[in-house]
Copies of this chain bind each other. A is one copy, B any other.
Amino acid sequence: MGLGFMARLVVIGGGAAGMAAASRAKRLNKNLDVVVIEKTRYVSFALCGIPYYVGCTVKTLDDLLFYPPEEFTKKRGIRILFETTATKIDVGARKVYYVDKNGREGEIDFDYLVLALGARSKAPKIWPEIREAENAFYISHLHSADEIRSYALHLPRHSKAVLVGAGYVGLELAENLSNLGMKVTLVEATPQVAPRALDPDLAAIVEEHLKSKGVEIIKEAPVKEFKIVDGKAKAIVTDKGEIEGDLFVVGVGIEPNVDLAREAGVKIGETGAIWTDDHMRTNIEGVYAVGDAVEHTDLVTGKRVWRPFAQIANKMGYVAGSNIGGREAVFPGSVGTSTFKTFDMIVARTGLSKAEAERNGFKPVEVKLEAGTRAHYIPGGTRITLKVVADEDTGRLLGAQAVGASETVLWRINVVASLLTTKATVWDLFTSDLGYAPPLAPVWDPLIIAARLLMRKLGEKPRKA
């Protein structure tokens, strides 16, 4: 191996998950030669920050790096091959083949391999024509943020931004492009915004808020094609007619980057993402996979799911790095918590909706309530609309959704999320000893009221999980 190292770990992909794995393994085992192969000139990047860079809340792309590259190369002793693309993995020969930005090919041996291959936008596959349009964008990496912002900042004020897809990226961009002075139209294929996060009734609250901020929302309008004239997108064609715009951003979902893994014989799971066990080990000895290309177990249903969320990717990286470094760790799975902010509205959900619970064989009961976030006599409190779902047979908590103007919307959902992790019941939620002080919470927190209403619906004596 040279350099006196005992073994080598190669990490393909320098995103947060890959760098977490690299850092953790190196920290636990200084004798490990850790080499990261990264396509771009960035590592440890926060793609979730892109909308805030577009809206100029974040000034420079460097601000979106968790750490500067030197933190890894100088301080942590990790080697990074920047602007280098892994082209093939030979798991038998324990080699990764790559090509650098100048077209020079190379290969590197590994003892351990971590695949941190990430995910990619589905947009260019669905509408290949947008590749030709200088004013139509989708988010593929940090440079996308730069391109969108540069283009938006050169448009006259009140130019029209058309956002295709009203998922969280579309909704975050709606706020940020509005902040740049653009007139924003959201175009969504389904009958509601945030279809993967919220039930229609809670989504309607978000839609009212968006409208109050001047955002136009066109629903049930799947996009058939982009009208491109002279290298510029003029309009999108939908069932609801043509929608013109000056700038288009497509946020219709992503898919896992699994090609390199599949070609190497790494098992792909039922979700289409890379399969691993709870130690983040793939089917091939010494080969781990982490981050947005990897599936995992849903702790509510026990089923395999693909959730390309940053907090999950980071944990996966940490766990893989721990195991490679010789300290056993597991990532048992997630419960499907997600959250976003659009303008002054916070949205959060965890676990299953009632409909999802039914589809997964539960017998769900649901309660919905609107309540204040502080004691009624303290000014400045806001309203939260909360739904909590539980299983009628067992009383087990299954999920929750909430919207409102306070950051505590997320944290109330986080309380439910942490209870889902331990398979808690509505009686455990009722027992949860949430702190009370007038300026901080009502004495009957909305969560405890929800537990009370669920206990009433379940109509039986207290049960423990």
A339→B421 contact, CB < 8 A: no
Asked whether, in the complex, the Cβ of A435 is within 8 Å of the Cβ of B337, the reply is: yes
Is the Cβ of A63 less than 8 Å from the Cβ of B408?
no
User: Once the chains bind, are B377 and A63 in contact (CB under 8 Å)?
Assistant: yes
Beta-carbon contact of B465 and A422 below 8 Å: yes
**Size of chain A's interface in residues, with CB distance under 8 A?**
82
**Which of the segments A6-14, A128-136, A263-271, A309-317 contacts the partner chain?**
A309-317
Interface centre among A168, A341, A422, by most chain B C-beta atoms within 10 angstroms, is A422
The docked-state distance in angstroms from the alpha carbon of A340 to that of B433 is: 15
Q: Are A421 and B417 in contact (CB under 8 A)?
A: no
The yes or no answer to A405 lying at the interface (CB within 8 A) is: no
Instruction: Report whether B435 and A417 are in contact in the complex, using a CB–CB cutoff of 8 Å.
Output: yes
Residue among A64, A341, A376, A414 with most chain B CB within 10 A: A414
Of the listed stretches A70-78, A209-217, A436-444, name the one at the interface; the rest are far from the partner chain.
A436-444
The reply to whether B309 and A436 contact each other, CB–CB distance below 8 Å, is yes
The verdict on A48 contacting B436 (CB below 8 Å), with A57-B378, A66-B376, A332-B431 known, is yes
Q: Which residues of B contact A417 (CB under 8 A)?
A: 432-435
Complex contacts, A461 vs chain B, CB 8 Å: 328-329
CB within 8 Å of B: which of A106-160? none
A438 nearest CB across to chain B (Å):
5
Interface flag for A371 (CB, 8 Å) = no
User: What distance in Å separates the Cβ of A294 from its nearest Cβ neighbour in chain B?
Assistant: 15
Using a CB-CB cutoff of 8 Å, which residues 156-214 of chain A contact chain B? 168, 172
| Bound form: Cα–Cα A275–B48 in Å | 53
Q: A328 — which chain B residues lie within 8 A by C-beta?
A: 461-462
> Known interface pairs A421-B431, A462-B328. Does A407 touch B410 (Cβ–Cβ under 8 Å)?
no
Which A288-341 residues have C-beta < 8 A from chain B? 299, 309-312, 314-315, 318, 328-341
Judge whether A348 is part of the interface by a CB distance below 8 angstroms. Answer: yes
Specify the chain B residue showing the minimal Cβ separation from A464. B332
A346 adjacent to chain B (CB < 8 Å): yes
**A430 located at the interface, meaning its Cβ lies under 8 Å from any Cβ of chain B in the complex:** yes
Q: Which B residues lie within 8 Å of A309 (CB)?
A: 436
- Among A335, A350, A432, A435, the one with the most B-chain Cβ atoms within 10 Å of its Cβ is A435
Q: How many copies does the complex hold?
A: 2
List B contacts of A412 (CB < 8 A): 411
Q: Given known contacts A377-B64, A378-B57, A461-B328, is B443 in contact with A418 (CB within 8 Å)?
A: no
Q: Once the chains bind, are A46 and B379 in contact (CB under 8 Å)?
A: no
Q: Is A455 an interface residue (CB 8 A)?
A: yes
A439 to B414, CA, bound (A): 15
A435: which B residues are within 8 A, CB to CB? 311, 337-339, 348, 350, 410, 413-414, 417
User: Is A454 positioned at the interface, with any CB of B under 8 Å from its CB?
Assistant: no
Min CB distance A403 to B, Å, is: 13
Task: Please give 17 more A-B residue pairs, beta carbons under 8 A apart, in addition to A314-B444, A417-B432, A421-B432.
Answer: A48-B436, A48-B438, A49-B438, A57-B379, A172-B437, A309-B436, A311-B445, A314-B443, A330-B462, A339-B437, A346-B440, A348-B435, A350-B435, A407-B408, A411-B412, A420-B433, A421-B431
A-B complex: 10 closest residue pairs judged by Cβ atoms: A411-B411, A339-B435, A311-B436, A328-B461, A418-B432, A337-B435, A422-B422, A337-B433, A334-B433, A63-B377
